[in-house]
Amino acid sequence: MQLVVATSNPGKLRELQQYLADLDWELVLKPQELEVEETGDTFLANARLKASSVAIATNNWAIADDSGLQVDALNGAPGVYSARYGATDSERITRLLKELGDETNRNAQFACAIAIARPDGTIALESEGICKGEILEEARGNHGFGYDPVFYVPQKQLTFAEMTTEVKRSISHRGKALTGLISQFKQITPIPL
């Protein structure tokens, strides 16, 4: 069965392929010209909107995700605007650290929502995951992307950018959302071991 991935980012496709390897889906990228605006005010609303629109436009099953950083002292900002908070990763981090200033409450979380839509656009499965951490005052580490260098996870005593891909996946918002999705999927179509 084909599952259209509602992204133009080949990196996201590769990551999903690794997670969903033991399910019987052939993952394909969405057509590039098919753009869906993220107009929802929650990650789940955006994931549903993207999965549903791409499913209808391609007349196929589709999967979409939306994710971002929520900082307590900024009332949950940048939230669904995480990607639009600046032009580059470094500008986004600079803006975040400036907005936080010398605020002592550095608590934050990454959140991710994933939805799978049927060809008629109705949602078949959805899942959410969060990873709690703290925003450091300076960047640390060279791995990953986005806000990874300033997102510190006390449980591992490392920033996301200091973790190997495997460790990050085992605790990350995206990893948890995908694990939840896979277990729901296996409940409706048990896969022989």
User: SS3 for 158?
Assistant: strand
Query: Closer to ligand IMP at the Cβ: 54 or 120?
Result: 54
Q: For the chain, how are helix, strand and coil distributed in percent, rounded to 5?
A: 40, 25, 35
Give contact residues for ligand IMP (rule: CB under 6 A): 65-69, 82-83, 92, 110, 144-148, 160, 172
* Furthest CA-CA distance within the chain: 54
Q: CA of 31: how far to CAs of 38, 46, 127, 158, in Å?
A: 17, 18, 24, 38
d(CA 121, CA 123): 6
CA 31 from centroid of its chain's CA atoms: 20
Residue nearest to ligand IMP (CB): 146
Query: Closer to ligand IMP at the Cβ: 90 or 183?
Result: 90
Q: Find the shortest distance in angstroms from Cβ 94 to ligand IMP.
A: 13
Q: Is 66 a catalytic residue?
A: yes
Q: Find the shortest distance in angstroms from Cβ 136 to ligand IMP.
A: 13
Query: Closer to ligand IMP at the Cβ: 7 or 61?
Result: 7
Question: How large is the angle between the packed helices 10-19 and 173-188, nearest 10 degrees?
Answer: 50
Q: Report the residue count for the chain.
A: 193
Query: Closer to ligand IMP at the Cβ: 75 or 189?
Result: 75
- Selecting among 41, 65, 66, 148, the annotated active-site residue is 66
User: SS3 for 127?
Assistant: strand
Q: Find the shortest distance in angstroms from Cβ 60 to ligand IMP.
A: 21
Q: Find the shortest distance in angstroms from Cβ 145 to ligand IMP.
A: 6
Write out the catalytic residue numbers: 66
